[in-house]
Each structure stands twice: as structure tokens, then as C-alpha cells.
Chain A
């Protein structure tokens, strides 16, 4: 499939701080691409650079195979960090300015306001909006030119649970129309629920990249216990399908290689003459995995 965004060795340095360090990623058409990382990991800086508002210190990027220009911008809708509008203007008038800049007709304004559920409040000034409404207005502005790509930076920041669910639903609805979405978030759960691909950033460096299902696949953990932990460990060490193991108090935690399950463990133990007093399967939390990815190379 065609590349929407191609980032090549992109770097940004602020004085002594390396905000983004030789980042290379590719966003394919039709994907929902998540940039995942803790606060300060370089997500916004990266988006700022590809959106032409932050000057890169090194590296390059291209949209649709071209350098950034008015034409490429026409095909992108983006919100970066905060909703940016004139506080003294109404939603309608703010969007008219955006429409003029993007070169689209005023007829779209009503449509996008409807889409984000702000039609009733179109004549309220921006400063009178709640945080959630501001965020929705920013999404409306991003959608105004019916873009092929939507770039969203922490789109659910500051929203209440209902608002978060609404925005996620909206993102999935937009993605279902075949649009590509680039989404930055520090919320693992959000990326897992919404994205198809993910890049994990930490202190400006790429830690992992790939389809969400492989990067954030929750591998099961098997916890076993039996009288006589020493003998149990001896057997565990000989089992070929155990990927890793460690002991916590008198329980042994195992992760298994692909294609094996707790049943195989139980059978092997029984064959070795050990009767397990405990056998628990625990889905590893995404948070734990995320921390693991980040720890691996730190």
C-alpha cells in the first residue's frame, strides 16, 4: 500500500535535550497509526515537525511522497496539542476562518459541527466552551477540508469518560471511511482500542514499531505452585516450551512460547510426578508490557 507519511531519521534538539532522536517510521494508507509514549517522549515534537510548525534539526519527511506544501496540507487535517481558536469569536466564525484558509466553502461548516455534536452551540463564543467542547471543535476544524489524513495529538485529553468514548467512536467512524489517522497518545488503552499500528517512543527514541497485535499482544502468564518448590523449579527449567520463568515467594511465574498453554504445563508436571496445588492463568496487563518494552533498552 502507498505510504502516507514517510519519516526518515528525523531529529530535534532543544539545547542539551534531544527531543526526537533519528526517528524513522512509515505510515501506510488506511492505517490508524498510534504514537505511544509517556509525557515528554517527543510525540508532539514529532507531529509538530511533520506539520511544518517546528523546524527539524536533522532528517527528513514526506507526505504522499512529496515535501510539505500547501497542496499536501490541503489533504491533511490536524490538531496539535491544544485547540487553537480566537476566544472572542463564536464556533461558527472560528470555523469560517479555518474554511477560508483551507479554501473550502462555508457549507461544510454546518456539516462538521453536526458531526461533532456542536450544532446547538454554534453561536457560543469559544471562550465559553468547556474543554471537551473545545476539543470537539478542534476535531471539527480538522475535518473541515474532508482530509485524507487526520493527525490528532492527544485527542481525548481533558475529556470526561463520556467524551472520551464519543471521540474514540468518532475516530473509528472516520477511519471506517478509509481515512488514515495518525494519533499521538500517552494512553496505552486508547492506542490498543483504536489503533492498527503503533510506534512506542521514549525520550525521543523509537523503542518498538509494528502492528498493535504483535507489539502489544498480551501474552498469558502461567502461575504455578506445588509443595516442594525446588523440585518444581528443576522440572520447569527442563521444559522446552517455557520462554521465561521467575519465582515469587513459593509460586513460579512462567511465560510460554507461542502455541503452548497452561494445559501443556499441567501435563508435563503430572508426567514428572508433581501434582500442582495451584495453576492460574493471568493475562498480562498492557501497562506491564509497555513498561517492559521501555525497560528493555533503557
Chain B
């Protein structure tokens, strides 16, 4: 826990962190407000949008798009350590390379918790304000979506951490991270059969928060094969472990 305390000493006074978190919160709120005004077949989605328990699924699906922001934040924090040369200084002062990675992973976990708690509060606020059914079973019906969201956010951030450790420069690392998550892997999905690509990292992480109404869409077009959120958890945790190990080996094999 000493490692987390050290990280908090670095992060809490850092304005960039607060700015990125503020952007995350603001964008998410904006989307939540705006999406209820979406009209489908001439009728506004309106209040139904916030109906619990389905709202948990919608909320986590929407929030999954903003994991990129968390990823960027982690890349900034990691690449800062290179550009301030503090990574090197911390090794001189007594931390091991494994501890350097572990410390950043604790930050990832902390941000994951922060994001999940924020969604919990948003869900309760919008849900209780707008939905008619206030029974416990409705409120907590799909609340496990939050735990899948947590795993997903941690997964995205761990991949971002790996890119940060690997590439050192924040700009390049952010571009590489976004390019991989949004372009390279989706392109690979086209080439590969569903049975294979459903195990690829971005798809695994994506299947943790499936698009609400996917089943309906599948009936109209050819169904895409996805792991269920519960099944995707296992490979997701595997990828998280892998990204941490790769980060560690990057540091181990490199001069700081």
C-alpha cells in the first residue's frame, strides 16, 4: 500500500489528472442527457431510457466508449515518469522494476474503482429519478454490469500502461493505443473467423459491456459471435495479467 500512497502523492496535485477526469465526467453526463432525446420511429426514447434495471446495461455500454480517456490518462502518467526521469530515480532510490509496474497497476485499479463508483452514482441518480419501478429487484437487477465494467476499464488501462512503458513518448503512445484499439484490431476482426477473434483483447473487453438490443440486431443481420460478459471475464483477466508482465519485461530488458 506504500506504493499506492507514493502514487497518490504524485497524482493528487497534478492538474492534468483532474482535467482528464473532469472531461470524462462531463462527456458522460452530456451523453446521458442527450441520448434520452434520441428519436426512434418517430417517438422519443425519453424517460424509458433510464428505466432500471436495463439502464445499468445502457450506462455501462455508453461508459465503455470513454475508457479511451482513462487509457490516455494512464499513458500520460507513465510517459511522464520517463520524461521527468523519475522512473530512473526511483530505481536508484530503491524500488525494483516490478514495483514500478505494480505501482502503476494500483493506479489503474484505483481509477477503475473511481469510474465504477461514479457510474453507480449516476445510475442510481438517473434511475431513481426517472424510472417508475423502485423495487429492489429492479434497482439491483443488472447491477453486475458494473463489475464487468470495472474489469473492462482495468483491461483498457492496463493495455494503455503497456503502450506507455513500451513507447515512452506520450503522443506516440496515445496514437498507437488508439490505433490498435479502434483500427488495427477491428480490421483483424474482418479477416478472422468469429470463433477466433472473439478471444482477441479488444473484442473480449468489448464483450464485457455488450450493446443493449444486440439480440434484436442479430435477428435482422447475421449474428456476430461474442462471449457472454461472464465468460469474457476470464480471458480479460488473463490479458490484464499478460499486459502487466509485458510491461515488467519491457522495463527489465531496458536501460532506464
Number of A positions contacting B (CB below 8 A): 28
In the complex, whether B191 has a CB less than 8 A from a CB of chain A is: no
> Does A85 lie within 8 Å of B94, measured CB to CB?
no
In the complex, whether A93 has a CB less than 8 A from a CB of chain B is: yes
In the complex, whether A114 has a CB less than 8 A from a CB of chain B is: no
Total cross-chain contacts (CB, 8 A): 68
Segment from B7-15, B128-136, B237-245 that makes contact with A: B7-15
Interface size class of B (residues with CB under 8 A): 20 to 34
If A48-B255, A88-B15 touch, does A103 touch B94 (CB 8 Å cutoff)? Answer: yes
> Does B14 lie within 8 Å of A88, measured CB to CB?
yes
Of listed B92, B95, B253, residue having the most chain A CB within 10 A: B92
Segment from B81-89, B112-120, B171-179, B209-217 that makes contact with A: B81-89
> Does B92 lie within 8 Å of A86, measured CB to CB?
no
In the complex, whether A53 has a CB less than 8 A from a CB of chain B is: yes
Segment from A70-78, A160-168, A283-291 that makes contact with B: A70-78
Contact of A53 among B9, B80, B84, B255 (CB under 8 A): B255
A98 to B95: give the CA distance in the assembly, Å: 10
If A54-B256, A84-B85, A85-B86 touch, does A101 touch B10 (CB 8 Å cutoff)? Answer: no
CB distance from B12 to the nearest CB of A (A): 10
Contact of A100 among B9, B15, B86 (CB under 8 A): B9
Q: Chain B's interface: helix, strand, loop or mixed, by majority?
A: helix
List which B90-106 residues lie within 8 A (CB) of chain A.
90-96
> Does B93 lie within 8 Å of A101, measured CB to CB?
yes
Contact of B88 among A73, A80, A96, A103 (CB under 8 A): A80
List which A73-108 residues lie within 8 A (CB) of chain B.
73-74, 78, 80-82, 84-89, 93, 96-98, 100-103
Q: Which residues of chain B have C-beta atoms less than 8 A from A98's C-beta?
A: 89, 93
Q: Which residues of chain B have C-beta atoms less than 8 A from A84's C-beta?
A: 84-86, 88-89
A141 to B92: give the CA distance in the assembly, Å: 11
List which B1-21 residues lie within 8 A (CB) of chain A.
2, 5-6, 9-10, 13-15
> Does B255 lie within 8 Å of A70, measured CB to CB?
no
Contact of A70 among B5, B86, B94, B256 (CB under 8 A): B94
A112 to B53: give the CA distance in the assembly, Å: 58
Contact of B6 among A53, A87, A88, A97 (CB under 8 A): A97
In the complex, whether A52 has a CB less than 8 A from a CB of chain B is: yes
Which B residues contact A (CB, under 8 angstroms)?
A: 2, 5-6, 9-10, 13-15, 80, 84-86, 88-96, 253-256
